[in-house]
Structure 1
Amino acid sequence: MNLDSARKKGSKFLNPIPTESAGLGKFIPILREYISNDAETVPKIPLGPFKTDISIYNKKPAGGLRITWIGHSSLLIEIDGKRILTDPVWSERASFVSFMGPKRFFEPSLALDELPKLDAVLLSHDHYDHLDKETIKFFAGKNIPFFTSLGVGTYLEKWGVDPNFITELDWGDSAMIAPDMILTSVPARHFSGRGIIHRDETLWAAFVIKGPKHNIFFGADSGWFDGFEDIGKIYGPFDLTMLEIGAYGKNWPDIHMGPDNASNAHLALKGKLMMPIHWGTFNLSTHAWYEPIERLLQYGKEKHIELFIPEPGKPTEVTGPLNSEWWVSSKSTG
């Protein structure tokens, strides 16, 4: 396949290939799976607390690339002198209300007002675990450029972000974060919507971030499709791929990859190091909270993939393989 711009049918965006997105037709099977599930989906032993040493941000990373994993898909990426925040979610729950819905396993390691100066905020799509209203409202009026997918800017404007600081991107579109740093939106296999209605009326995407020294891939949410091979051929190789490994399930195989297909995507992208994201933060599926990372470790060995797994909240330079094993002490043994 090639990397065409997104297509629509009426008001609905379409995936690059036919995709089942676990709609109402799967409600009963999914409900049964949740009712009968006995996996440790929420940690029995509390995680954290984690604390970011913000003084580290006073000094640029020696090698030019440093990552602070806030949790899930929220990362502070320091790349070639610029700072980019991805899919920031600081709220306690990934939900449309504050009193119910998936709750964080651990608090963010730093407050929003402790973040260093940002050059860009990157938003992949409009789901609650990626687009958090209260977090976005914190940035309103701060003159920080936002880069996001088609249609998502409407939410940002509603929540107070100046439209002059919003750039919406179609698949294949590029924008400059700086004169020597290019952001490119590329296809993903997922869906969108913040409720039962208006599903798929905004776009979802992954992003290539290319600076003068480093080239990295932020995968956000996607099921496997052969477009990863095309992205690797056109935009790779990548120094680091950030790919989702959690929230997979037998009733929605098309929209989340899980560790096996995420590791396949890394190989297709021609990645050097793979960083797992979208795990260990919210209960969004029926697997044990630690299952994705432990399965990935096994696939990494089998497929000869070098992994980069930093501790939550710890600014960590990307210089080679790393396994912090931060979750091991919180696994329940009974």
Structure 2
Amino acid sequence: MSYLKAAQRQNGKFLNPVPTHFTSGRDMLRLLPEFLFGRRKREPQPPLPHFRTEKHWYNQPPESGMRITWFGHSSLLMEIDGFRLLLDPVWSHRASPIQFAGPERFFPPTIALSDLPPLDAVLVSHDHYDHLDETAVRGLADRNVRWVTSLGVGKYLRRFGVPAERIQEMDWCDRLKLTSTRTGAELELISLPSRHFSGRSLFNRFGTLWASFVLRNAQRNLYFGADSGYWPGFAEIGAEYGPFDLTMLEIGASNPMWESIHLGPDRAAEAHRALRGKVLFPIHWGLFDLALHEWREPSERLLQLAPQMGIELWMPRPGSPTEFQGMPMQSDWWRQPSAAAQRTVTELLTAGG
């Protein structure tokens, strides 16, 4: 049985590639006291320093050909052999439909949207507020770049100001070849199934598609997992499209009650191996309080698992454009560096230009 096929619908709603359990309202009510009163352990204490991305750092291309700036959670700027791709950009203060309530950022955006370097494309994996952000879309809508997203999500991009002719929606297993108008560099995107859901309210769940993506060119083969629970399709993706130089998989916002739609560190490690990944880049953590675990727990747990499972990790500091050379790297930024130490790092990066 192959899991790699176009998305299916039932009664007008998209279906997951395998049967998937969703937490009931009664289950969520049981968790409500912990949500309300356990907040302190789920947020950095003391607050994190203000990580910064200086725009002039992008004046020079990466020596290795590939550089990634992780802005926290699942927001990334990937420079891949001359092609610049921005993934799931979230710049709002809260991952919420309203900006006076909901999960707040642990640290401000590391760079203004207007200071981002010229882009070739923006990829939005699905419509949840921690991946599709109105502030970011409106701030980038007047740039002459391609917008790539999953089926149905284009309506939000158009509502937020992106011209329809610049939007490409993808079904599972669709392929799209992009060419940079700046450099002529090429990048192929392949949209693949993931095990998750969609919806920007309680009343429109499953109305748009969610997906993971292969990003590749002649030199690189990368996997962006976006949001997904564990499922047998990881092994099929690895067999069909792997091995991957880098897998970007979610480790945060996890809980045993919703393990069918989120990985967490243990399942991310298993997925990485099933995908035939060489190096694992953990994403979807470190910026918002979206679950019940202590905020550093996903990263610390993954650090325990990695040597036991023979997994190499790539864990950059937020906001720092970091070259990926196929080797593991760990910054330990979440272990509360002092403001003075952060200033020293910024000064060193600035001097290195």
TM-score bracket, shorter-length normalisation: over 0.9
Structure 1: state its 5+ residue gaps. none
In the TM superposition, what whole-angstrom CA distance separates every residue of 1:65-90 from its partner, at most 9, and x where no partner exists?
11000010000001111000000000
Shift of 1:35: 4.7
Q: Specify the code of the residue in structure 2 equivalent to 1:322.
A: M
Q: Residue in 2 aligned with 1:213? A: 219
Q: Residue in 2 aligned with 1:266? A: 272
CA contact (8 A) 1:65 1:318 kept: yes
Where does structure 1 differ by over 3 angstroms across 4 or more consecutive aligned residues?
35-39
CA contact (8 A) 1:21 1:191 kept: no
CA contact (8 A) 2:83 2:186 kept: no
SS at 2:152 equivalent: coil
Distance 1:103 1:323, change over 3 A: same
Q: Residue in 2 aligned with 1:110? A: 111
Residue 324 in structure 1 maps to residue 334 in structure 2: no
Distance 1:23 1:87, change over 3 A: farther
SS at 1:293 equivalent: helix
**CA separation in 2, counterparts of 1:149 and 1:91?**
21
CA contact (8 A) 2:149 2:168 kept: yes
Q: Specify the code of the residue in structure 1 equivalent to 2:258.
A: W
**CA separation in 2, counterparts of 1:288 and 1:87?**
24
SS at 1:118 equivalent: coil
**CA separation in 2, counterparts of 1:38 and 1:93?**
15
Shift of 1:54: 2.3
What does 1:173-212 align with in structure 2 at a 5 Å threshold?
173-178=174-179, 180-212=186-218
Q: Which moved more, 1:270-279 or 1:24-33?
A: 24-33
What does 1:72-83 align with in structure 2 at a 5 Å threshold?
72-83=73-84
**CA separation in 1, counterparts of 2:100 and 2:34?**
24
**CA separation in 1, counterparts of 2:254 and 2:149?**
24
Q: Residue in 2 aligned with 1:120? A: 121
Shift of 1:328: 0.7
Q: Which moved more, 1:253-262 or 1:50-59?
A: 50-59
Shift of 1:261: 0.5
Q: Specify the code of the residue in structure 2 equivalent to 1:282.
A: F
Q: Specify the code of the residue in structure 2 equivalent to 1:47.
A: L
**CA separation in 1, counterparts of 2:279 and 2:16?**
27
**CA separation in 1, counterparts of 2:171 and 2:23?**
24
Q: Residue in 1 aligned with 2:351? A: none
Residue 164 in structure 1 maps to residue 151 in structure 2: no
Q: Specify the code of the residue in structure 2 equivalent to 1:289.
A: W
- Candidates 236, 256, 264, aligned match of 1:230: 236
Residue 99 in structure 1 maps to residue 100 in structure 2: yes
Q: Residue in 1 aligned with 2:182? A: none
TM-score (norm. length: structure 1): 0.96
Structure 2: state its 5+ residue gaps. 180-184, 339-353
SS at 1:259 equivalent: helix
In the TM superposition, what whole-angstrom CA distance separates every residue of 1:266-292 from its partner, at most 9, and x where no partner exists?
111111111010001000000000000
Q: Residue in 1 aligned with 2:88? A: 87
What is the alpha-carbon root mean square deviation over aligned residues?
Answer: 1.5
SS at 2:168 equivalent: strand
Residue 243 in structure 1 maps to residue 220 in structure 2: no
In the TM superposition, what whole-angstrom CA distance separates every residue of 1:42-61 from its partner, at most 9, and x where no partner exists?
11111121111322211111
Shift of 1:330: 5.7
Shift of 1:212: 1.9
SS at 1:329 equivalent: coil
TM-score (norm. length: structure 2): 0.91
Residues matched between the structures, number: 331
Q: Specify the code of the residue in structure 2 equivalent to 1:309.
A: M
Q: Specify the code of the residue in structure 2 equivalent to 1:323.
A: Q
**CA separation in 2, counterparts of 1:134 and 1:56?**
24
Q: Specify the code of the residue in structure 1 equivalent to 2:212.
A: A
